Amino acid sequence: MRIVVLDGYTLNPGDISWTPFEKLGELTVYEYTKPEEIFERLEGVSICLTNKTCFPREVLEKLPDIRYIGCLSTGFNVVDVDYCRAHGIVVTNIPEYATFATAQMTIALLLEIASKVGHHSDLVHQGVWTKGRDFCFWDGSLMELSGKTLGLFGFGKIASRVSKIASAMGMNVLACRRSEVTDEMRAADPQVTFVDPDTLWKESDVISFHCPLTADTTGLVNVQVIAKMKDGVILLNTSRGPVLNEADVASALSSGKIAALGADVVSSEPIRQENPLLTAPNTYLTPHIAWAPRETRVRLMDVASGNLRAFLSGSPVNVVS
Protein backbone atom coordinates (compact mmCIF):
# COMPACT_ATOMS: atom_id res chain seq x y z
CA MET A 1 0.00 0.00 0.00
CA ARG A 2 1.35 3.40 -1.01
CA ILE A 3 1.21 6.40 1.33
CA VAL A 4 2.11 9.82 -0.08
CA VAL A 5 2.96 12.90 1.97
CA LEU A 6 2.59 15.94 -0.28
CA ASP A 7 4.24 18.64 1.83
CA GLY A 8 6.25 17.08 4.61
CA TYR A 9 8.94 19.71 5.10
CA THR A 10 7.23 21.95 7.65
CA LEU A 11 6.26 19.03 9.88
CA ASN A 12 9.60 17.31 9.50
CA PRO A 13 12.54 19.31 8.12
CA GLY A 14 14.76 16.42 9.18
CA ASP A 15 14.75 16.46 12.96
CA ILE A 16 12.06 13.82 13.58
CA SER A 17 11.29 10.41 12.07
CA TRP A 18 8.70 9.21 9.54
CA THR A 19 9.01 5.69 10.99
CA PRO A 20 5.42 5.57 12.35
CA PHE A 21 4.16 5.88 8.76
CA GLU A 22 6.83 3.65 7.26
CA LYS A 23 5.47 0.82 9.40
CA LEU A 24 2.06 1.20 7.74
CA GLY A 25 2.98 1.05 4.06
CA GLU A 26 5.27 2.15 1.25
CA LEU A 27 5.90 5.81 2.14
CA THR A 28 6.83 8.59 -0.27
CA VAL A 29 7.48 12.02 1.20
CA TYR A 30 7.63 15.19 -0.90
CA GLU A 31 8.89 18.34 0.74
CA TYR A 32 6.51 20.53 -1.30
CA THR A 33 3.93 19.91 -4.00
CA LYS A 34 2.77 22.47 -6.55
CA PRO A 35 -0.92 22.33 -7.52
CA GLU A 36 -0.05 21.01 -10.97
CA GLU A 37 2.05 18.20 -9.44
CA ILE A 38 -0.76 16.72 -7.34
CA PHE A 39 -2.24 14.51 -10.06
CA GLU A 40 0.98 12.81 -11.08
CA ARG A 41 2.05 12.23 -7.49
CA LEU A 42 -1.33 10.79 -6.46
CA GLU A 43 -2.00 8.68 -9.56
CA GLY A 44 -3.23 5.32 -8.31
CA VAL A 45 -2.73 6.39 -4.67
CA SER A 46 -5.54 5.90 -2.15
CA ILE A 47 -3.90 7.44 0.94
CA CYS A 48 -2.33 10.88 1.13
CA LEU A 49 -1.30 13.31 3.83
CA THR A 50 -1.37 17.07 3.49
CA ASN A 51 -0.64 20.14 5.52
CA LYS A 52 -1.29 23.10 3.24
CA THR A 53 -1.63 21.44 -0.17
CA CYS A 54 -5.23 22.15 -1.18
CA PHE A 55 -7.93 19.71 -2.24
CA PRO A 56 -10.83 21.72 -3.63
CA ARG A 57 -13.64 19.97 -5.50
CA GLU A 58 -12.04 20.48 -8.90
CA VAL A 59 -8.92 18.64 -7.73
CA LEU A 60 -10.76 15.84 -5.93
CA GLU A 61 -12.88 15.15 -9.00
CA LYS A 62 -9.69 14.17 -10.84
CA LEU A 63 -8.44 11.82 -8.11
CA PRO A 64 -10.79 8.83 -8.29
CA ASP A 65 -8.50 6.53 -6.29
CA ILE A 66 -8.23 8.68 -3.16
CA ARG A 67 -9.95 7.12 -0.15
CA TYR A 68 -8.17 8.86 2.74
CA ILE A 69 -6.78 12.37 3.27
CA GLY A 70 -4.96 12.93 6.53
CA CYS A 71 -4.56 16.60 7.43
CA LEU A 72 -1.30 17.19 9.31
CA SER A 73 -2.92 20.02 11.25
CA THR A 74 -5.92 20.86 13.37
CA GLY A 75 -7.43 22.98 10.59
CA PHE A 76 -8.89 21.15 7.60
CA ASN A 77 -10.15 24.02 5.45
CA VAL A 78 -7.68 23.03 2.70
CA VAL A 79 -9.96 20.09 1.87
CA ASP A 80 -13.50 20.25 0.49
CA VAL A 81 -14.93 18.02 3.22
CA ASP A 82 -18.45 18.24 1.82
CA TYR A 83 -17.28 16.65 -1.42
CA CYS A 84 -15.32 14.03 0.50
CA ARG A 85 -18.31 13.19 2.67
CA ALA A 86 -20.51 12.75 -0.38
CA HIS A 87 -17.97 10.50 -2.12
CA GLY A 88 -16.83 8.35 0.77
CA ILE A 89 -13.40 9.90 1.24
CA VAL A 90 -12.34 9.91 4.88
CA VAL A 91 -10.68 13.13 6.05
CA THR A 92 -9.00 13.31 9.45
CA ASN A 93 -7.30 16.05 11.42
CA ILE A 94 -5.07 16.38 14.49
CA PRO A 95 -7.02 17.92 17.37
CA GLU A 96 -5.38 19.45 20.42
CA TYR A 97 -1.79 18.38 19.66
CA ALA A 98 -0.48 21.96 20.05
CA THR A 99 -2.34 22.98 23.21
CA PHE A 100 0.75 23.50 25.36
CA ALA A 101 2.90 25.09 22.64
CA THR A 102 0.19 27.50 21.49
CA ALA A 103 -0.56 28.58 25.04
CA GLN A 104 3.18 29.09 25.52
CA MET A 105 3.38 31.26 22.39
CA THR A 106 0.39 33.31 23.49
CA ILE A 107 2.07 34.11 26.79
CA ALA A 108 5.43 34.68 25.06
CA LEU A 109 3.87 37.36 22.86
CA LEU A 110 2.22 38.96 25.87
CA LEU A 111 5.46 38.98 27.87
CA GLU A 112 7.39 40.48 24.95
CA ILE A 113 4.86 43.29 24.71
CA ALA A 114 4.88 43.85 28.47
CA SER A 115 8.61 43.55 29.16
CA LYS A 116 10.21 44.14 25.73
CA VAL A 117 12.94 41.57 26.41
CA GLY A 118 14.02 41.20 22.79
CA HIS A 119 14.10 44.95 22.18
CA HIS A 120 16.25 45.65 25.22
CA SER A 121 18.59 42.76 24.46
CA ASP A 122 19.13 44.25 21.00
CA LEU A 123 19.89 47.66 22.53
CA VAL A 124 22.39 46.13 24.95
CA HIS A 125 24.19 44.36 22.11
CA GLN A 126 24.21 47.64 20.17
CA GLY A 127 26.18 49.25 23.02
CA VAL A 128 23.48 51.50 24.45
CA TRP A 129 23.96 50.17 27.99
CA THR A 130 27.76 50.35 27.69
CA LYS A 131 27.47 54.06 26.95
CA GLY A 132 24.89 54.69 29.64
CA ARG A 133 25.31 56.82 32.75
CA ASP A 134 23.11 54.79 35.09
CA PHE A 135 23.12 51.16 36.18
CA CYS A 136 19.96 50.57 34.13
CA PHE A 137 17.85 52.05 31.35
CA TRP A 138 14.60 51.26 29.59
CA ASP A 139 13.27 52.30 26.24
CA GLY A 140 9.52 52.88 26.26
CA SER A 141 7.04 51.91 28.93
CA LEU A 142 7.10 48.51 30.62
CA MET A 143 4.02 46.84 32.05
CA GLU A 144 3.32 44.76 35.14
CA LEU A 145 0.67 42.20 34.23
CA SER A 146 -0.48 41.39 37.76
CA GLY A 147 -3.89 42.96 38.32
CA LYS A 148 -4.61 43.39 34.61
CA THR A 149 -7.63 41.72 33.03
CA LEU A 150 -7.15 39.16 30.27
CA GLY A 151 -10.12 38.43 28.05
CA LEU A 152 -10.21 35.15 26.13
CA PHE A 153 -12.44 35.06 23.07
CA GLY A 154 -13.09 31.38 22.58
CA PHE A 155 -12.51 28.92 25.37
CA GLY A 156 -11.25 25.47 24.46
CA LYS A 157 -8.20 23.56 25.66
CA ILE A 158 -5.68 26.21 24.56
CA ALA A 159 -7.55 29.10 26.16
CA SER A 160 -8.00 27.09 29.34
CA ARG A 161 -4.25 26.56 29.49
CA VAL A 162 -3.60 30.26 28.83
CA SER A 163 -6.04 31.19 31.59
CA LYS A 164 -4.16 29.11 34.15
CA ILE A 165 -0.80 30.67 33.25
CA ALA A 166 -2.25 34.19 33.27
CA SER A 167 -3.94 33.59 36.61
CA ALA A 168 -0.64 32.36 38.07
CA MET A 169 0.86 35.72 37.03
CA GLY A 170 -1.85 37.54 38.97
CA MET A 171 -4.11 38.46 36.07
CA ASN A 172 -7.88 38.46 36.24
CA VAL A 173 -9.36 36.27 33.51
CA LEU A 174 -12.58 36.71 31.56
CA ALA A 175 -13.76 34.40 28.80
CA CYS A 176 -16.62 33.99 26.38
CA ARG A 177 -17.49 31.01 24.20
CA ARG A 178 -20.06 30.16 21.57
CA SER A 179 -21.55 27.14 23.31
CA GLU A 180 -23.08 26.90 26.75
CA VAL A 181 -20.84 27.12 29.80
CA THR A 182 -21.49 24.09 31.98
CA ASP A 183 -21.06 23.68 35.72
CA GLU A 184 -18.29 21.18 34.97
CA MET A 185 -16.41 23.82 32.98
CA ARG A 186 -16.75 26.35 35.76
CA ALA A 187 -15.45 23.81 38.25
CA ALA A 188 -12.51 22.90 35.99
CA ASP A 189 -11.52 26.56 35.49
CA PRO A 190 -12.52 28.42 38.68
CA GLN A 191 -10.04 31.19 37.84
CA VAL A 192 -12.21 32.24 34.88
CA THR A 193 -15.28 34.48 34.87
CA PHE A 194 -17.47 33.75 31.85
CA VAL A 195 -19.05 36.81 30.24
CA ASP A 196 -20.73 37.89 27.00
CA PRO A 197 -18.63 39.36 24.16
CA ASP A 198 -19.55 42.99 24.81
CA THR A 199 -18.44 42.67 28.45
CA LEU A 200 -15.21 41.06 27.29
CA TRP A 201 -14.48 43.91 24.85
CA LYS A 202 -15.31 46.56 27.45
CA GLU A 203 -13.47 45.24 30.52
CA SER A 204 -10.32 43.55 29.18
CA ASP A 205 -6.87 45.13 29.21
CA VAL A 206 -5.60 42.29 27.03
CA ILE A 207 -7.74 40.27 24.59
CA SER A 208 -6.52 36.95 23.21
CA PHE A 209 -8.28 35.07 20.41
CA HIS A 210 -8.72 31.29 20.55
CA CYS A 211 -11.61 30.67 18.20
CA PRO A 212 -12.02 28.70 14.97
CA LEU A 213 -12.34 30.53 11.68
CA THR A 214 -16.01 30.55 10.69
CA ALA A 215 -18.31 32.88 8.82
CA ASP A 216 -19.07 34.56 12.14
CA THR A 217 -15.45 35.04 13.22
CA THR A 218 -13.99 36.12 9.87
CA GLY A 219 -13.27 39.84 10.19
CA LEU A 220 -14.65 39.78 13.73
CA VAL A 221 -12.26 42.41 15.05
CA ASN A 222 -13.29 45.41 12.98
CA VAL A 223 -13.66 49.11 13.62
CA GLN A 224 -17.02 48.65 15.36
CA VAL A 225 -15.75 46.01 17.78
CA ILE A 226 -12.49 47.88 18.41
CA ALA A 227 -14.54 50.95 19.40
CA LYS A 228 -16.03 48.91 22.28
CA MET A 229 -12.59 48.09 23.69
CA LYS A 230 -10.59 50.00 26.25
CA ASP A 231 -8.23 52.66 25.01
CA GLY A 232 -4.76 51.12 24.98
CA VAL A 233 -5.96 47.52 24.77
CA ILE A 234 -3.48 44.81 23.80
CA LEU A 235 -4.55 42.16 21.27
CA LEU A 236 -3.10 38.67 20.87
CA ASN A 237 -3.92 36.30 18.03
CA THR A 238 -2.69 32.72 17.88
CA SER A 239 -5.90 31.36 16.34
CA ARG A 240 -6.50 32.29 12.69
CA GLY A 241 -5.33 35.42 10.87
CA PRO A 242 -8.64 36.38 9.22
CA VAL A 243 -10.28 36.80 12.65
CA LEU A 244 -8.76 40.29 12.53
CA ASN A 245 -9.70 42.91 9.97
CA GLU A 246 -6.06 43.80 9.53
CA ALA A 247 -6.66 47.23 8.02
CA ASP A 248 -8.87 48.24 10.94
CA VAL A 249 -6.43 46.85 13.48
CA ALA A 250 -3.49 48.64 11.82
CA SER A 251 -5.42 51.91 11.89
CA ALA A 252 -6.20 51.45 15.59
CA LEU A 253 -2.54 50.70 16.30
CA SER A 254 -1.54 53.91 14.54
CA SER A 255 -4.05 55.96 16.54
CA GLY A 256 -3.09 54.33 19.85
CA LYS A 257 -6.56 52.88 20.46
CA ILE A 258 -4.80 49.51 20.37
CA ALA A 259 -1.54 49.76 22.30
CA ALA A 260 0.05 46.65 20.80
CA LEU A 261 -0.66 43.53 18.78
CA GLY A 262 1.05 40.17 19.16
CA ALA A 263 0.17 37.71 16.40
CA ASP A 264 1.49 34.37 15.20
CA VAL A 265 -0.96 34.25 12.29
CA VAL A 266 -2.06 36.64 9.53
CA SER A 267 -4.73 36.57 6.85
CA SER A 268 -2.47 35.31 4.06
CA GLU A 269 0.65 33.28 4.78
CA PRO A 270 3.49 33.82 4.12
CA ILE A 271 2.69 37.42 5.00
CA ARG A 272 2.35 39.66 1.97
CA GLN A 273 4.49 42.75 1.60
CA GLU A 274 1.38 44.93 1.44
CA ASN A 275 -0.07 43.62 4.72
CA PRO A 276 -0.81 46.77 6.78
CA LEU A 277 0.40 45.10 9.99
CA LEU A 278 3.99 45.16 8.70
CA THR A 279 4.12 48.95 8.98
CA ALA A 280 1.82 49.42 11.97
CA PRO A 281 3.47 50.52 15.23
CA ASN A 282 3.87 48.25 18.25
CA THR A 283 3.19 45.12 16.25
CA TYR A 284 4.88 41.86 17.21
CA LEU A 285 4.61 39.23 14.48
CA THR A 286 5.93 35.67 14.43
CA PRO A 287 5.77 33.39 11.35
CA HIS A 288 3.12 30.85 12.44
CA ILE A 289 5.46 28.94 14.75
CA ALA A 290 3.26 28.25 17.78
CA TRP A 291 2.95 24.63 16.62
CA ALA A 292 6.62 24.19 15.75
CA PRO A 293 8.47 22.96 18.87
CA ARG A 294 9.99 19.56 18.19
CA GLU A 295 8.02 17.92 20.98
CA THR A 296 4.80 19.26 19.51
CA ARG A 297 5.58 18.00 16.01
CA VAL A 298 6.48 14.54 17.37
CA ARG A 299 3.06 14.48 19.01
CA LEU A 300 1.47 15.51 15.71
CA MET A 301 3.32 12.70 13.90
CA ASP A 302 2.14 10.16 16.47
CA VAL A 303 -1.49 11.26 16.26
CA ALA A 304 -1.44 11.42 12.45
CA SER A 305 -0.03 7.90 12.15
CA GLY A 306 -2.55 6.73 14.72
CA ASN A 307 -5.34 8.24 12.61
CA LEU A 308 -4.16 6.29 9.59
CA ARG A 309 -3.71 3.09 11.60
CA ALA A 310 -7.28 3.40 12.87
CA PHE A 311 -8.57 3.97 9.33
CA LEU A 312 -6.76 0.90 8.05
CA SER A 313 -8.25 -1.17 10.88
CA GLY A 314 -11.74 -0.07 9.86
CA SER A 315 -12.43 2.17 12.86
CA PRO A 316 -11.35 5.70 11.81
CA VAL A 317 -10.90 8.40 14.45
CA ASN A 318 -10.68 12.20 14.34
CA VAL A 319 -12.85 12.15 11.21
CA VAL A 320 -14.02 15.57 9.96
CA SER A 321 -15.64 14.49 6.70
Point out the residues that are catalytic: 240, 269, 288
Return the closest-CA partner of residue 78 out of 46, 35, 44.
Answer: 35
290 three-class SS: coil
The closest alpha carbon to 38, from 10, 19, 17, 66, belongs to 66
SS3 for 261? Answer: strand
Among residues 101, 103, 79, 102, which one has the least CA distance to residue 91? 79
The CB density around residue 157, as the number of other CB atoms within 10 Å, is 15
The Cβ of residue 210 has, within 10 Å, a number of other Cβ atoms equal to 27
Cα atoms in the 13 Å half-sphere on the side-chain side of 236: 28
Phi first, then psi: give them for residue 264, nearest 5 degrees.
-105, 0
The neighbour count for residue 51, using CB atoms within 10 Å, is 19
Q: How many Cα neighbours within 13 Å face the side chain of 229?
A: 26
Q: What is the CA radius of gyration of the chain?
A: 22
Q: In what order do the strands lie in the sheet containing 26-29? A: 26-29, 2-5, 47-50, 68-71, 90-92
Q: Which of 225, 237, 260 is nearest to 106 (CA)?
A: 237
Contact between 30 and 4 under an 8 Å Cβ cutoff? The reply is: yes
What is the C-alpha separation between 240 and 210, in angstroms, rounded? 8
Alpha carbon distance 237, 265 (integer Å): 7
